[in-house]
Amino acid sequence: MKILCCGDVAGRSGRTVVCEHLPRLRSDLGLDFVVVNGENAARGFGITEKICKQLYEAGVDAITTGNHVWDQREIISYINGDPRLLRPHNYPQGTPGRGSAVFTLGDGRKVLLLHLMTRLFMDALDDPFACVQAELAKYRLGKSVDAILMDIHGEATSEKTAMGNFLDGRASVVFGTHSHVPTSDTRILPGGTAYQTDLGMCGDYDSVIGMKKEAAIARFVKKVPGERLTPAEGEATLCAIYVELDDKTGLATGIEPIRLGGCLSQISPL
């Protein structure tokens, strides 16, 4: 199985770079499943029904989110009706939406996508480790599902790395999102799980983590509330990982980072 996992989509430029490159990547790499983090897709804050449909039309199979999932209030009434849009699974019981889903491919293979949010420097949600332990008790990699993917959305690299090792050998791919900066630790862990601490963002890197520089810098310099942060609108970089899985075990046989477009150094598996 061939998987593409794309980092946080930041604003219009992030949406543009995903929609520009994804159809070619799906075709040239023969991708079976594509997941994108979309929590900053709507002007940097949240996601809308219209943007979800735009990403699906470009070739996205599933969308994860994070701490900005509720920023666009329309998503609260929409999310229950969209089985491809996930919010973190460790929100309290009764929260709208879902944090895990099984997707059935055209050939019958099944992909379990899990989405969790960390707690260090983030919202005080339920324990993500206990949450994933309970969810994985329902499935067996290579038996009941052919792949298990995890988006762990969080600030602390230590917590995300701990989750990767906690799931080593039990998940196909564990990737971090939220920091908007791609880490250089792309690898397969000893137990066979593909891992990267943070995918980075799909957005304009001539910015402060996707936002226009002037307003972001002013917040640090003046230490007073200023104008609302807005996404940078220059040429974006698509940041992602491309993973190949063993069809029998569901574990990773290869992982490569991808960076296409914009001002970052380019890395392409093509």
89 is catalytic: no
Give 100's strand partners: 114
Find the DSSP H helices in the chain. 11-29, 49-58, 74-78, 128-136, 157-166, 213-222
Record the tokens describing residue 213, joined without a space. 């520089």
Measured between alpha carbons, how far is 167 from 227 in angstroms, rounded to an integer?
Answer: 42
Measured between alpha carbons, how far is 221 from 213 in angstroms, rounded to an integer?
Answer: 12
What is the per-residue DSSP string for 110-162?
EEEEEEEE--TTS---S-HHHHHHHHHTT--BTTTBSEEEEEEE-S-HHHHHH
Question: CA distances (Å), 95 to each of 9, 125, 188, 233, in order?
Answer: 23, 12, 34, 33
Record the tokens describing residue 201, joined without a space. 């963002």
Beta carbons of 120 and 154 less than 8 angstroms apart: yes
Question: CA distances (Å), 21 to each of 26, 129, 142, in order?
Answer: 9, 34, 30
Catalytic residue among 68, 89, 115, 153: 68
Q: What residues act catalytically?
A: 68
